[in-house]
Structure 1
Amino acid sequence: MFKTMNVLKAAGALLGAFLFFLVANTASNALFTIGDTAHGEAEGEHAEVAMMTATPGGLLDADGGEEAAAEEEVVVALDGGDAAKGEKVFGKCKACHKVDGSNGTGPHLDGVVDRAVAGVEGFGYSDAMAAHGGTWTLEALDAWLAKPKDYIPGNKMSFAGLPKAEDRADLIAYLRSLGG
Structure 2
Amino acid sequence: MSDTLAFTKVFAALSGALLIFVVVNMAAKGLYRMPAPGEGAQAYVAPGGEEAEAAPAEPERTVEEILASGDADAGARVFKKCQACHKVDPGVNLTGPTLYQVVGRAVGVVEGFGYSGALDGTTEAWTPEALFAYLENPRGFAPGTTMTFAGLPKAQDRADVIAYLRSQAQ
Cα distance between partner residues in 1 of 2:84 and 2:128: 23
Cα distance between partner residues in 1 of 2:88 and 2:142: 22
5+ residue gaps, structure 2, are 1-30, 32-54
> Contact 1:89 / 1:171 at 8 angstroms: preserved in 2?
yes
Name the counterpart of 1:159: 149
Cα distance between partner residues in 1 of 2:159 and 2:123: 23
Please say if 1:103 is aligned against 2:93: yes
Write out aligned runs for 1:1-180 (5 A).
Answer: 47=58, 50=59, 52=61, 73-101=62-90, 102-130=92-120, 132-179=122-169
Cα distance between partner residues in 1 of 2:156 and 2:121: 29
* Letter of the 2:72 counterpart: A
The sequence identity of aligned pairs, in percent, is 53
5+ residue gaps, structure 1, are 1-17, 19-42, 53-72
* Letter of the 1:80 counterpart: S
* Letter of the 1:95 counterpart: A
CA positional deviation for 1:51: 5.0
CA positional deviation for 1:127: 1.8
C-alpha RMSD of matched pairs (Å)? 3.2
Cα distance between partner residues in 1 of 2:111 and 2:101: 13
* Letter of the 2:133 counterpart: A
Cα distance between partner residues in 2 of 1:131 and 1:166: 27
> Contact 2:122 / 2:141 at 8 angstroms: preserved in 1?
no
TM-score, scaled to structure 1: 0.61
1:81 alignment partner, SS class? coil
TM-score, scaled to structure 2: 0.64
> Contact 2:103 / 2:128 at 8 angstroms: preserved in 1?
yes
State the aligned residue count: 136
Name the counterpart of 1:36: none
CA positional deviation for 1:137: 0.4
> Contact 2:104 / 2:126 at 8 angstroms: preserved in 1?
yes
CA deviation profile, 1:30-79 (whole Å, cap 9, x unmatched): xxxxxxxxxxxxx79x63xx251xxxxxxxxxxxxxxxxxxxx3222212
1:149 alignment partner, SS class? helix
* Letter of the 1:77 counterpart: I
2:118 alignment partner, SS class? helix
Largest Rg, 1 or 2: 2
> Contact 2:123 / 2:130 at 8 angstroms: preserved in 1?
no
> Contact 1:118 / 1:133 at 8 angstroms: preserved in 2?
no
CA positional deviation for 1:132: 4.0
